[in-house]
């Protein structure tokens, strides 16, 4: 089940970068809950490349169309199908380079897996554009979570070698993330990150970065033990976003050099409620939420497409060549990944929420 | 499906730390392939605590018993059930502390999830002892991979603040990892890591660490796109090991600060074969193996059980208390996690292999 | 996973009777295999109501559109999405009767399940029109089976009280089934069955019937033991067709009154091959194909919508009323179910075939 | 996932007829609910062959052992593992006939599927003895249903050519079914059925029969539309019982010759509640329960093992031979299937119940 995900709140992706459309079918959205096109569109707009210097020149209007499962603005309980059309597609460059394996891309593995029949244009179904399907579905997932006052907040915490320079409060994420093109909640860091991207771009190069995600308001007791732990399912989902190389929960890789006495989070009783004094666990113990915020970080590699010349291979002629890649690509995918991480986390949590009911 | 995992090579765990046994049912092992008790036992022995100072004093003989699916030393195609008995169990301390939530443990979340009915003795089904089931199943998975000359190699690369001090070759992993109690392939680093553990232990504390895993000899084209990528399924599996806080593939979190021109792996043609010049991708592009070694690292938190006094809560009396934890626990779980990571990676790869056939 | 089905050859349905479209996403179709619009259209045409007296007056052109997964006439390996638009829709009658539960329909249970939010127009997602998605996917499944010389053949064997009057050979099914409006391979029986439908229709009533399906050319050893037996998965699939009330394999319910010595099929050796002398098993032993034809029969209830007045309830006013149903409905659904059964059987067998590879 | 079944209330079978044991792992049983060995044992006793003339001479004590998931008589939420040991096993005859394919058995298909490595002794994992695992799990499922006042009732309605001679009330099923060896609720019919079995047995032959099952007290709105309809999932489960050849719901195959005006069930309002006047639908519309009893019938073929000589093949010598089968087998499996059908229906309904929560 490779393009579908989830148990109850479940999604099925389809489409490709340079085909007719990118779409998603969503099952498990509660019947009677409103489906508001404007909300879905707002999420899609968040992942569109801006017209800033930081993004690709491909203009994607990405107007959501709803094809099934909604009647008079409310979900009927039937599968909800949504698509965006592919416009402003220019496949000309790809046609010339069908047999040239772009370094860092899935060109080679797709060719092997699909015996050369994969749609190579713009990466086909391996394109980052497929994440638009995650965003449309994620918008619905967020609606489900809102009913339970659960909120998912993602933001950029590192671009290249520039990290965010302060602790970030949730209200800053809400207010500031979409007011700057790098999707960072600290405006000074945002400027510096922007310069990092521009510099790489000017060099014909690209940079990676890190996105943090927080799930606030999660009830305790969500998640399943062992193989369906919160971490297992979130990481399963996150590694489907193109370009992800790592994930860590709570104190993550830093935990390795911590002492037990440092790492263990203590709880206290406040007004008869259990309260966690700190949150190195990332809100999860034994795979199950403990009531604290679920927090995790995702590492993204630099955009593989760069205009600098690279060595690679031509599979038709079976020889090495020098490639100067074209196509329209962001010099850093992290800003556009922020809403994708947020939406995908919402999809996972909506499913856990419904499994717990 | 919380205690089961896999599509074709599939496992179902059962048992608990202080119950009768820990066991696993394995489906999808090829009929006619030999099932050798000694091989399974050898894997189990690798995860047993030694009698060194680095490990718990619990003596676990852990003799594997095979209950079904094997006839005259060969698999019949029916489910293979294996157990180890729980002996040398001392639940006395746990009975005293049923309502006391050990910091860093799943005690609280298990209590919430199972409404207080969970088997709290020794962590019950949240215990690290459940990983013995992964090891028994993993031994069979390794046998499957051996038929295709695929080898999984795990080793310790960091304990506390001590990292491994050199590049590690595969032959060193094969030779040295089980010749020292920290499971490190560099003997000098191993000694230093050992001291790190002893020091923590003497302080009544614990340390975490990092395990690296390599899958060598993987054919190209394994893995499924999008939601069932190699990374998605490996990470899903790995986060079920108690204590895991992070995972990264190839250059992982370091990718975030790399340039595209640094990160992208180039290929060349050698004797008509595609060869990758370096492996920052960790052997995976677009979720599918590219023929290079699959490599990933797993971060483990410090063992939560420490003898230093900690603040925590008593759920019966709903008050804060001071806890000095007892029970028999390793001051660092990383050495015992090494064969678990190796076996679990083998389980995932055996499943991918069979899905590709 | 309610609108999706299958393990490797997998389908996801969407749409509703009076919405924009009915569609299906197909995964697992082999990359590089041709996808021919004309073949899919031919299957769809087989399930359209003719303009004979035996069918509804709804005119459904049902032109297939392919939205993803196909490039230059070949499958790319990505999900294949197909839809047909809903035209000639007349929801007027349904709007008047939103709260009136049509006897024999899912109106009441849909209302309970979806808390009144289900799309009631034309049965919404419970409509027989959803089977067009099965037909589109089934056309692709048949293409997969054709590569292995496996053929699926369905035909009507009973309408109301009229059964087929002779043994039916496969070549008759191939030649005659779509040359008469009841989809029967015996032309005399077909005429009589047609009269049975017309008579019921003239009385403002409807009739049921039985469809037989044969899968010829199946290799031995397909199917999985126990829970994924051929019978288990075929029956699971078939009961999703609206109106199915029973299924039997081989000698089916007649087996109950047979002796073991009558029922057991013996095999003999012909030119070194195992040949079954007769086929009361329906080609399946222990859930696995034995090389003989897989045969099964499906019982359909009479179309629930009839123009005769019926007693039923108005859920808004919570009172009993007399209903004379309108809407455009076939007086017997069996003829249109024949290609649906055939296509759905093909979907199941294509999945089993791919699981066995 | 061939030996596992279910979404939330989920079972994993293991074991074989002449191996060490037959067992089952159950997940999804509610934590805190009692697990009473005596209740499980009572169900197992119901499926044991009696010492009457109607059953095999194999003496199966079948004492249940519980290995995990239960603490102080209550479920902990962890997987519950139960086994019965295989005793009084006589494999001698099977060793002689390893290559002789018993007609009507899975010997041939198992050999093909498992390439000759299957455990052939007593049918191995294709044995009816595997249904003991269904009974142990089903006993737990019944306990879950009892909390919601849902009751499952199975009884024999036909043996060979003898059908039950009257309408059967639920209270008769409760009282009489286990007071006679054929498990029929009409005592006169039971006697006649018993004679049918004895007669077949005396002829060295066997007979089939039909079991009816009713699920009383089901809430309306259970079940999922389309592919996970009540009928789809029940039939999927039932066809895993060895010997099942057909299933029908409500009026089943009789529906084919009914008119819509006869078949459609009307509802009326009684004290503000919806009440169904009759139940040809078998309690299900559109795959979802309508509040009436869920009713279905299962056709069993005659026991394949008969002592009459039969023609069959020797796969080692690839020649035809005459076989007089030995081994200890019931001349009719229907009486022992009654508790199995009941328990398996309970498993399915417990899962649907938990999915709906």
Residue A280 phi/psi, 5° resolution? -70, -20
How many CB pairs lie under 8 A apart between chains B and C?
Answer: 4
Tell me the chain B residues in contact with residue A280 when contact means C-beta distances shorter than 8 Å.
301
Nearest CA in chain C to A81: C14
Inform me whether the C-beta atom of residue A158 falls under 8 Å from chain B C-beta atoms. yes
Residue of B nearest to A243 (CA): B286
With CA atoms as reference, the chain C residue closest to B77 would be: C225
B285's tokens: 């592009």
Measured CA to CA, the distance from residue A239 to residue A20 in angstroms comes to: 26
Nearest CA to A338 among A297, A284, A285, A309? A297
Q: Does C68 touch chain A (CB under 8 A)?
A: yes
- Does the beta-carbon distance from D301 to C256 stay under 8 Å? yes
Closest chain C CA to residue B226: C78
Indicate yes or no: CB of C31 within 8 angstroms of CB of A117.
yes
How many beta carbons lie within 10 A of that of residue C90, not counting itself?
A: 13
Residue B286, sorted as left (phi over 0), alpha (psi -120 to 50) or beta, turns out to be left
Residues D241 and B350: their CA atoms lie apart, in Å, by 30
* pLDDT tens digits for range B183-222: 999 999 999 999 999 999 999 999 999 999 999 999 999 9
From D330, D343, D334, D220, select the one nearest D275 (Cα to Cα). Answer: D220
Can you tell me whether residue B273 is helix, strand or coil?
strand
The phi and psi torsions of C58 (rounded to 5 degrees) equal -65, 125
Per-residue pLDDT of chain C (357 residues; tens, 9 = 90+): 699 999 999 999 999 999 999 999 999 999 999 999 999 999 999 998 664 666 665 566 899 999 999 999 999 999 999 999 998 777 777 777 789 999 999 999 999 999 999 998 888 889 999 999 999 999 999 999 999 999 999 999 999 999 998 899 999 999 999 999 999 999 999 999 999 999 999 999 999 999 999 999 999 999 998 999 999 999 999 999 999 999 999 999 999 999 999 999 999 999 999 999 999 999 999 999 999 999 999 999 999 999 999 999 999 999 999 998 776 678 999 999 999 999 999 999 999 999 987
**Would you state the pLDDT for residue D98?**
85
Q: Is A271 helix (H, G, I), strand (E, B) or coil?
A: coil
The per-residue pLDDT for D99 is 92
Lowest mean pLDDT among B266-270, D163-167, D187-191: D163-167
Tell me which residue has tokens 């639908």.
D281
Tokens of residue A26, six digits: 């969503």
CA dist D64 → D40, D75, D134, D135, D139 (Å) = 7, 16, 13, 11, 11
One-character DSSP codes across C124-144: GGGSGGGHHHHHHHHHHHHHH
| B163, two tokens | 């990292």
Q: What is the pLDDT of residue A92?
A: 77
User: Above 70 in pLDDT, residue D266?
Assistant: yes
Per the DSSP assignment, residues forming a β-bridge with B210 are: B158, B299
For residues D277-285, average pLDDT: 98
Do the strands A80-85 and A21-27 form a parallel or antiparallel pair, or are they unpaired? antiparallel
Nearest residue on chain B to D5, alpha-carbon basis: B1
pLDDT of residue B58: 59
Instruction: Inform me whether the C-beta atom of residue B7 falls under 8 Å from chain C C-beta atoms.
Output: yes
- Rounded to two decimals, the ipTM of the complex is 0.96
Asked if the C-beta of B23 comes within 8 angstroms of chain D's C-beta atoms, the answer is yes
State yes or no: pLDDT of B49 exceeds 90. no
Structure tokens of C60?
């459904």
A285 and chain B in contact, CB less than 8 A: yes
Q: Do C237 and D232 touch (CB under 8 A)?
A: yes
Residue D226 sits at the chain A interface (C-beta within 8 Å): no
What is the distance between the terminal CA atoms of chain C, rounded to a whole angstrom? Answer: 25
Q: Which two tokens stand for residue B28?
A: 């999808």
| pTM, rounded to two decimals | 0.97
How far is the C-alpha of D141 from the C-alpha of D345, rounded, in Å? Answer: 9
Query: How do residues B278-301 score in pLDDT, each as one tens digit?
Result: 999 999 999 999 999 999 999 999
Residue B200: alpha-carbon gap to chain centroid: 22
Angstrom distance (rounded) from CA D24 to CA D12? 5
Angle among Cα C185, C186, C192 to the nearest 5 degrees reads 120
Put simply, whether C7 touches B (Cβ < 8 Å) is yes
Counting every residue written for chain C, the total comes to: 357
D-contacting chains (≥3 CB pairs under 8 Å): A, B, C
For residue C269, with 0-12 CB atoms within 10 Å meaning exposed, 13-18 middle and 19 or more buried, which class applies? Answer: middle
* Chain A environment of C91 (Cβ under 8 Å): none
Neighbouring-strand partners of residue B22: B15, B84
D77 interaction partners in chain A (CB closer than 8 Å): 225
Provide the pLDDT for residue B59. Answer: 62
- Say which residue the tokens 């976003």 belong to: A241
Q: Closest partner residue to B104 among A105, A263, A306, by Cβ?
A: A263
Residues C51-58: contacts with CB under 8 Å, at least 24 apart:
C52/C181, C53/C198, C53/C201, C54/C181, C54/C182, C54/C194, C54/C197, C54/C198, C54/C201, C54/C330, C54/C331, C54/C332, C54/C335, C55/C181, C55/C330, C55/C335, C55/C336, C56/C328, C56/C329, C56/C330, C57/C328, C58/C88, C58/C328
Which residue among B7, B225, B357 places its CB closest to the CB of C357? B357
- Measure in Å the smallest separation between the Cα of B355 and chain A Cα atoms: 11
Indicate whether D51 pLDDT > 60. Answer: no
Say yes or no for a CB contact (<8 Å) between A71 and C117: yes
User: What is the C-alpha to C-alpha distance for residues C307 and C205, in angstroms, rounded to an integer?
Assistant: 7
d(CA C285, CA B112): 47
Q: Is the pLDDT of residue B51 over 60?
A: no
Pair C225, D274: CB distance under 8 Å: no
> Does any CB of chain D come closer than 8 Å to the CB of residue B74?
yes
> What is the number of other CB atoms lying within 10 angstroms of the CB of residue B243?
20
Residues D344-349 have a mean pLDDT of: 98
Q: What confidence tier does D53 reach under pLDDT thresholds 50, 70, 90? A: low
Q: CB-CB: which of D7, D78, D357 is closest to A357?
A: D357
Chain B: residue whose CA lies nearest to C355? B355
Name the stretches of chain A with pLDDT < 70. Answer: 1, 49-60, 327-328
Q: Is A31 on the interface with C (CB under 8 A)?
A: yes
Instruction: Inspect the interface and report whether the beta carbons of D252 and C237 lie closer than 8 Å.
Output: no
Alpha carbon A49 to its chain centroid, in Å, reads 14
- Phi and psi at residue A24, in whole multiples of 5°? -150, 140
The closest alpha carbon to C154, from C133, C129, C180, C174, belongs to C174
Write the residue in A13, A130, A246 that is nearest to B248 by C-beta.
Answer: A246
What is the mean predicted confidence (pLDDT) over B77-81? 97
Tell me whether residue A156 is exposed, middle or buried, using C-beta atoms within 10 angstroms of its C-beta: 0 to 12, 13 to 18, 19 or more. buried
pLDDT at D336 over 70: yes
CB of D267 closer than 8 Å to CB of C310: no
> What φ, ψ does residue B300 adopt, rounded to 5°?
-110, 140
- Maximum Cα–Cα distance for chain D, whole Å? 73
H helices of chain C, in order, are: 37-47, 92-96, 107-113, 131-147, 170-176, 187-202, 230-238, 260-263, 334-355
């Amino acid at each position: 089940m490779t393009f579908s995900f989830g148990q109850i709140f479940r999604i099925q992706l389809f489409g490709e970068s340079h085909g007719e459309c990118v779409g998603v079918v969503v099952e498990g959205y509660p019947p009677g809950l409103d489906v508001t096109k404007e909300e879905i569109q707002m999420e899609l707009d968040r992942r569109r490349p801006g017209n800033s210097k930081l993004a690709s020149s491909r203009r994607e209007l990405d107007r959501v169309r709803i094809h099934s499962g909604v009647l008079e603005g409310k979900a009927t309980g039937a599968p909800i199908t949504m698509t965006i059309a592919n416009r402003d597609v220019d496949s000309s460059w790809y046609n010339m380079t069908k047999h040239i394996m772009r370094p860092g891309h899935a060109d080679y593995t797709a060719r092997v897996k699909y015996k050369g029949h994969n749609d190579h244009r713009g990466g086909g179904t391996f394109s980052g554009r497929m994440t638009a399907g995650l965003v449309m579905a994620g918008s619905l997932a967020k609606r489900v979570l809102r009913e339970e006052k659960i909120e998912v907040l993602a933001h950029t915490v590192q671009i290249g070698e520039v990290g965010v320079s302060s602790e970030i409060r949730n209200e800053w994420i809400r207010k500031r993330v979409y007011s700057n093109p790098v999707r960072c909640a600290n405006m000074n860091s945002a400027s510096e990150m922007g310069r990092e991207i521009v510099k790489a771009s000017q060099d014909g190069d690209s940079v990676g970065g890190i996105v943090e995600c927080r799930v606030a308001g999660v009830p305790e007791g969500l998640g399943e033990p062992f193989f369906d732990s919160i971490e297992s399912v979130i990481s399963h989902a996150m590694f489907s976003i193109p370009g992800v190389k790592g994930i860590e929960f709570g104190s993550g890789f830093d935990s390795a050099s911590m002492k037990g006495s440092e790492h263990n989070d203590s709880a206290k009783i406040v007004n008869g409620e259990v309260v966690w004094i700190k949150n190195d666990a990332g809100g999860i113990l034994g795979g199950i939420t403990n009531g604290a915020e679920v927090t995790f970080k995702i590492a993204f590699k630099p955009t593989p497409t760069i205009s600098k010349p690279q060595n690679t291979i031509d599979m038709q002629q079976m020889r090495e060549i020098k490639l100067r890649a074209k196509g329209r690509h962001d010099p850093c995918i992290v800003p556009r990944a922020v809403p994708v991480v947020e939406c995908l986390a919402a999809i996972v949590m909506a499913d856990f929420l419904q499994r717990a009911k």
